[in-house]
Amino acid sequence: MNVLNLTVIKNPARMGVEFYLSERNLDGSIAIGEPVKMVVDNNPAVYSPPTFFMDNISLQNFIDELWNSGLRPSGLNDAQLTAQGRHLEDMRKIAFMFLEKDRE
């Protein structure tokens, strides 16, 4: 199976990000995505194929790449992430306390 590789590069001058898609083929060659061309649909009732398909592995890589480039889901802020991290650390401490009591 070919896996799509995604690179996300911030472009502050354009106030956004640039997406680069590539795919390594089974023969070792690399296919590079071109800019998407929008066309007018004169018959929208007829099925048209998706713009592109991503398998679950490629999709997870896509989400990870967005996260690594600094993008976060709407409504999620650093304070929430910090609070969530503290909560998880508290839960770990509680879990280890119970594990230590079981060993006694």
Yes or no: say if 21 and 39 are a contact pair by the CB < 8 Å rule.
no
Q: What is the pTM of this model?
A: 0.54
3-state secondary structure of 93: helix
Domain ranges of the chain: 1-42+50-71, 77-104
User: What is the DSSP track for 20-88?
Assistant: EEEEE-TTS-EEE---------S-TTS----S----HHHHHHHHHHHHHTT---TT--HHHHHHHHHHH
Q: Is the pLDDT of residue 1 over 90?
A: no
User: What is the pLDDT, as a whole number, of residue 59?
Assistant: 86
Q: Which of 32, 31, 16 is nearest to 66 (CA)?
A: 16
User: What is the pLDDT, as a whole number, of residue 22?
Assistant: 92
User: What is the pLDDT, as a whole number, of residue 34?
Assistant: 93
Average pLDDT, the chain: 84
Sorting pLDDT into bands at 50, 70 and 90, what band is 70?
A: confident
Q: Which of 27, 26, 23 is nearest to 54 (CA)?
A: 23
Q: Which amino acid is at 19?
A: F
pLDDT tens for 38-56 read: 989 888 888 888 888 888 8
